[in-house]
Amino acid sequence: MKRVITYGTFDVLHYGHINLLKRAKSLGDYLIVALSTDEFNALKSKKSYYTFESRKKILESLRFVDLVIPENNWEQKVSDIKEYKIDIFVMGDDWKGKFDFLNKYCEVIYLPRTPNVSSTQTKDYLNNNVI
Ligand code: C2G
């Protein structure tokens, strides 16, 4: 049973997120998503449209996501990897290099981001095209 973990806000879920999550799951058998809490988002200077609970519900509805846990801080990754016996840590390549220190504990893989889609773009579009 190969266990994979990834981290993120996953606000206003879009096909870029779906591509990342699907590819992450395909690297193993069990995918854990550590979902940024609303409080941690504030630390990342992000304000998500959907609350943590709503974003969690959406992710849990995806058949290729096996477990959603809260991401409360930057520091929890090593303990998460140990606690959940993670084999592979996956992030989009906008984070390339940032988490290489986790190589001591598990495989670290950066996957290419999906171009031309982001939660921010979606929100901007909706804000500027209210009918
Ligand atoms: N992503 C992607 N393609 C996009 C947009 C996002 O592959 N067009 C990926 C990101 O690279 C990331 C994941 O989807 O791996 C989640 O993206 P965000 O919700 O923006 O996550 P972020 O705010 O980068 O949080 O501790 C790590 C942080 O919590 C990462």
Q: What is the mean pLDDT of residues 103-129?
A: 95
Tokens of 126: 């909706």
Task: Please tell me the pTM assigned to this model.
Answer: 0.96
pLDDT, average across residues 110-120: 96
Of 5, 113, 114, 122, the residue with max ligand 1 atoms within 8 A of its CB, to mutate for a pocket test, comes to: 113
Ligand 1 centroid – CA 129 distance (Å): 25
Q: Identify whether 44 is a catalytic site residue.
A: yes
- Note the pLDDT tens digit of each residue in 44-92: 999 999 999 999 999 999 999 999 999 999 999 999 999 999 999 999 9
